């Protein structure tokens, strides 16, 4: 029954990613449109350092980054676990895969979250 829980969160994370990643991609690629909203205050490319700093300081963007980070890591790693499990590996290896993916996912989450919070004080 635990799988039902994991799977429902997989779906919920997927829906959240759809909105947040859509927003993220729009900000990064439709830079001319979002410049007016103060997301790219220095103009030019969205990845220019001044724009990155401006976005990193916005509290709303920090929340968006961390939520997207967590949702995408969960969704992606659950999906990867599904594919690996369907290879027909034994129960011991299944356990190892689950533990390994949780560890890797948490490490990446901590790294990304620390970076997002630290970048807020740039």
Binding site for another protein (CB under 8 A): 1-5, 7-8, 11, 14-15, 17-18, 21-22, 25, 29-30, 47, 49, 52-53, 56, 69, 72-73, 76-77, 79-80, 82-83, 85-88, 94, 108, 111-112, 114-116, 118-119, 122
Q: Which helix (H) or strand (E) holds 58?
A: none
CA distances from 108 to 26, 33, 57, 112 (A): 24, 31, 21, 6
Name the minimum Å distance from CB 122 to another protein. Answer: 8
Name the minimum Å distance from CB 115 to another protein. Answer: 4
Any alpha helices (H) in 1-122, and if so which ranges?
2-29, 31-35, 49-57, 59-85, 91-119
Name the minimum Å distance from CB 99 to another protein. Answer: 14
Name the minimum Å distance from CB 5 to another protein. Answer: 6
Half-sphere exposure of 2 (CA within 13 A, CB side): 2
């Amino acid at each position: 029954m635990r799988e039902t829980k994991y799977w429902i969160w997989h779906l919920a994370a997927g829906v959240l990613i759809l909105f947040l990643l859509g927003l993220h991609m729009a900000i990064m690629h439709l830079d001319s449109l979002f410049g007016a909203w103060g997301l790219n205050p220095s103009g030019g490319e969205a990845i220019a350092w001044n724009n990155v700093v401006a976005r990193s300081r916005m509290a709303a963007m920090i929340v968006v980054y961390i939520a997207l980070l967590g949702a995408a890591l969960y969704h992606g790693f659950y999906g990867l676990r599904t594919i690996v499990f369907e290879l027909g590996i034994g129960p011991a290896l299944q356990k190892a895969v689950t533990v390994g993916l949780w560890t890797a996912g948490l490490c990446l989450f901590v790294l990304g979250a620390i970076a997002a919070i630290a970048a807020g004080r740039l």
